[in-house]
Structure formats: structure tokens, C-alpha cells
Structure 1
Amino acid sequence: MQRWVVFVTQFLKEVILFISQVLFTQNEAKIEHHNIKSENVIEEFNFVHLSDIHYDFSRTREKEKIFFNYQRVSKELLQSAINKINLHQDKNGPIHAILMTGDYIQYEPDAITGFIDDFLLPLITTVKPSEGTFMVLGNHDHKKKGSKKIITSCLQELKVKYNVHLLENEEDIRDSVFRLKRFNVEIIGFLDYHDPEFNTEYGKLKKISDPKQNHSTRIVLEHNPDTAALLRRESWFFDLMLCGHSHGGQIRVPIPSSLYPKLFDKYDTNIQNICGNTLMFVPLMLILSFLIDRMPSSISIWLRSRWIVMFILRVVKNWQYGKGGLVKVNDDPSLGGRFIYCNRGIATHPPLRFLCSPVVATFNIKKHD
């Protein structure tokens, strides 16, 4: 009887959360905190992870379609994210670093100055991370010809005064790796998976950074979660990979947590989802992918809509990583417990979120007991 009372109580809590998320899902960023243990960290390391800002207060783009002419992120939402990070810091102790994984602008490269003035610098001067800010670019940051060069230049100008490190440099690959000696933490930045130079830079990175080294706590920054499949396939050692891009699917459907592995474990039986709630919110994209695999091709209405669904699913191939949240990889005991975290982002693009609130992620990495 007592078990049923606990279950009903927990279920009602989830229903209340469900309703609140439906009503307020786009207006306020949610703080998501995770604790991770590492064999190699010397001192407790606290940091914040942000992704997918899509700053778009630039209206220089001509002939923009009406559907796309909407605000992806408000200045009020950006300020609320800063306030929440600062409040978290007041309660839990200093944040040592800010880690960011791309899509700082929507399309026009001149928006990067607004992103810096309205968000990045206020964030840095408020939080005051002792070790600095570490960034990689996303696909929107090099979508327009010439954007990457402009954005890279603007961010690199902040290095000396504000301790901002863009972990990308096609001229010197060594700038993609940064070591925090105080914590014995190594941060590696990867080019966006869809960057034309990805394969070239990846080859260089393998030469200067031993994929299998496990003498320090390694954090990987990459915009696209599909890179996780590559790193697993090539047996890279890392404690934590941080990514974004998918926005967690933006539209999610609640299902019982116990049902998830029965339906979706076919994607990867070595993935452990870190979820302690009765309900688990699953991206509609993942459900569509699941249905595609099982839908008889003879159904004509499905054939007519199939190409639309397949186009949507191209956003991410590996939704077991892109669905948002923290997962643990258990496929290679020699590499230890590796975690992959996909941030649901701050902005809303396209203009709809359902049960998928914007997220600011905070992490605490401490040594194993």
C-alpha cells in the first residue's frame, strides 16, 4: 500500500511539472545540475555549460521568409539565464569556468557584436569564472559565407582582457586544447561536425592529443552530438562530452521511464540514461524515427509524408545522444565511465517548444571517494 502512495505522490508531482512546463516552457531557462566523479581531477571543478543562443537582433538579411522572421531569443531570457547562474553560484560556490558549444548567432555575422555586448560580456563580468570561458562554434556560426572568419576574429579579441578562449584555430591546432593545471582538467574543442574542415582538423587533433590518454580529466566540446558516435567508434577517452545543436528536439512527449529502454534501447544497449523521475520526456523526433523503422511501406499516406519526416530527422542522426540530457556510456570498461551531455539550448528555433524548456547546465566534477 505504501508503495502505491509513493508512486501516486510522485506521479502527481510529475503531472504538476508537466503542466507548468507546457505553460512556461519558452519564457524561462531551467537550471539543470549534474554531479560527476573522475579518477583524475585534483580539485573539485565547477562550471556552467551553455549552447545555442541563436542571437538574431540583426535584420540585415534581405528577402527573409515571413515564417523565419521571428525572435529566437529575447534579451529578457538571456538576462534571466545570467541571473539564474549567479543565484546558483551564490548557493553552491564559485563557478570556475564557462563552457559554450556554439550557435551564438542565427545567420547574420554582424549579430556577433550584439551577442557579445548583450550576453557574453554581462555573463562573464557577473559570474567571474576564475579559469576563463571556453568556446567552440556551431553550424549557424559558419552558415553564411565569411561568417566564421568574422565571428572568430571578434571572439579572439576577448582573449586577453576577458580570458575567453576559442578552441578552434585552423592555423595552429594546438589552440584546440587547453589544460587547467590547478584541476588536472583538459578541455578539447572540436570543429562542428558539419564544418567542411572537420575531417582535416580531426586528423590533426588526433596527432597532438592522444585519444586514449587517461591521466587527466578530459572534457570534450563539440556542437553536434553526432560526433559522439565517432569518438566512441574510435575509442576516445573522455570523462564528459558537451554538445548542443538538437535543442533536445524542442517537442517532447512524456512516457514512463521504465518503458523507454524497452522501446528505444535498440539504438544503443550500452547507453544508460541518467533519469530518476517517473516520467521521461522523449523528443518527437526519436519517436518518429522509431515509427519509420516499423511502418509498412505499403501505407500510401505514410509514403507521401515520409520524405518530410526524413528531412526533419536529418538534424541529428544519433538521437540517443541528441535527445537532451545526460547519458552514461558503458561500452568499454578500459575507458571508464564516460558521460555525454546534450544541452537543450537557450533559443527557440523553429518557433515552438513543448515540454522542452531552455536550459542552463551546471556541473560539479569531483574525485572518486
Structure 2
Amino acid sequence: MDVEKVFHMSGGVGKTSYAQNSSLQKNASDMVKHITLETMQQLYKEVNPKSLSIADLGCSSGPNSLSLIKDIVEAVQGSSHKMFRPSPEFRVFLNDLPTNDFNSVFKSLPDFYRDLKKDKNGRCPAVFISGCPGSFYGRLFPNNCLHFIYSSYSLHWLSKVPPGLYDEHGKSINKGGVYISELSPPSVSQAYWNQFQEDFSLFLKSRSEELVTGGRMVLITLGRIGQGHVDRGNSFFWEILSKCLAISVSQGEIEKEKLDSYDVHFYAASRNEVEDEVRREGSFKLERMEMLEIKKQVKGGDSYGTAVAMTVRAIQESMLCHHFGDGINLDTLFNNYAKMVDQEMANQQINPITFLLVLKKL
């Protein structure tokens, strides 16, 4: 499966869209927004550019990206006012895979500019926004052209399903599971770890060529505690998806062979794995690394399981439909998913782990 051609968050603004089902990600980014803005303000004080270049890698199609850009613009303007400097221009590059619903983002730009004008006597800051489709596992921008890079909940997605998951006949060695589980052979964990090393190293190398010296990156990504790959955090939600797909197999909606060959291009790295890779690649100083446990927050009367199920659906729908075809009933699949999450949460709290990284280019 060519991830770059297939994978994207569910577009539009409908009930199952990412735009309507990304509040869990928004809650996490809001928890660390003060760190993001402090990092941006410190960079601005050090570099003092007349034109500030910012890239959001993995922007998706919901409201989260432009909301953060608005906060950054206002924070920098506040700093420039305090330092009696003219406000810089802002060049903003929104990046995601080519199949992303960029149109939804661009349609929301008039509202974005209107909100920026509020309380500014009708004058809008000079903010120039453009789309940049492509994989961030490789170069996206010219040398030394960016000052600040932000990426929220994107780097746990690998560039591809690890090829080490398949035997010489092209059959998956991780039968019945879509990610690392207690039943997975050790070679499955090794395959995911190898792919993470390759991808994250390439990501760091590519960004080091695009950032100016002293440029910063703020990265928010899912992770795990300790060296064990199976936990009650992120891997557990994939285990529930495996169980729900197995129900679909038992009901004759999808073939067992299809389930056995479905593996996700996801990896929740540990703190040590991230730190070791940053050190090994050598282009950045890790200025800060925070671990967050995202508590459940649900609005609108839905259960936590329903909120999680809708979030996972908005993320996985493109891949599931491509792999399983029209036979799969996504409504039934994710109704089962919601019930299983709620049942588990009634027994024991499940708090996915998130890491915040602040890196400075050396």
C-alpha cells in the first residue's frame, strides 16, 4: 500500500470528518501552547527577522492548525510591540500529504483573516499562507528558509508500513493484529523500531537543511512509557481495532486474509528512543522534552468511547476503505469500538502518552 497516495484524515466538515473529530488533539496542543508560544517568542528575540517563516507539518484539514497560527502571530506581535520593533511579515506553509483536504483549510482563510483584524482597528497583520503538499520524510523547502517548524500529532505516522512485517512470500508475520500486541513475535517490534529510526533520522536531517541556524522545532507526538511496546496507552487502542475487525470477520463482512494483511504505519516511540535518535543524527539540541498524560475530556454528552471511536475513524477511514473495500461497515465497526473503549474505561483508566519536544538547530 502506497501510504502517501492513500492516507489522509477524513476531509470536509461532516459528522465523521477530522474537522469535527479532532478535539482530543486540540486539548493536548492547548496544554502545551504556552511552551510553543514561549519558544516562538524566544526565537523572534534572538533572530529579529523582518520576515518570519513558519511551517506546520501535518496540518490536516481541521481548525486546529489555523488556530495555532493565529496564536503565534499575536504572540510575536506582542513581543515586537514590547521591544519597540516593527511587526514582521509572516510566511506560513501548511504541509500535509497530497491527498489532504487543503480546500477546506483555504475556505476557512477569510474567517482567519477577519479574526486577526479584530481589536486592530481593522488592519490585518501581513500573514501570507500557502499549501505545501508532500511527505515530510524528505525535503520540502529550500535551504535555510525556515525559522520555526511546528508539528502536532503527525510524527508517530511512519512513511510506510514496515517492510520487515512481511515474509519472503509477502505474507504478514503479524497475523490477527494491526499493530504490536502481546501475541506479536519479537520481529514485529523490531520491524517497527527499524522503520522509526530510518524515518525520524530522515525527518531531522531534512529539517536541519531547511531551518536557519538557531531555528526551532516544536513537535507533539504520541509515545509510550518504558521499553515495552504493549501498554494501556496507545497500543491498546490498536488492540481494540484488531478485535473489532475480528468481529467483522466473524460476521462475514470482511475476509480473514484481509485482516491478517492489515498493518498500521504507526509507531509510539519511548523517551529514550527519541533522545537517542536526536543525539545520533546530531543536527539539533533537544532543549526540552515533556511527557503528558491526556485525561479524558468529552463535550456534547457523548461517551469517551464514542469520542475516541470517532477520532480513530476520522484518521483511519481512508486506509480501512482502501484495504477492505466496500464490504466493511464502518458504522458498525466503530460502534463496537466505542462500546469496547467504554467497557475498558469502566475497569481501568486509559491515558495515552504524548511527548512534547523543543529542538534548536545547531
**TM-score (normalised: structure 1):** 0.36
**TM-score (normalised: structure 2):** 0.37
Identify the structure with bigger relative contact order (alpha carbons < 8 Å, sequence gap 6+).
1
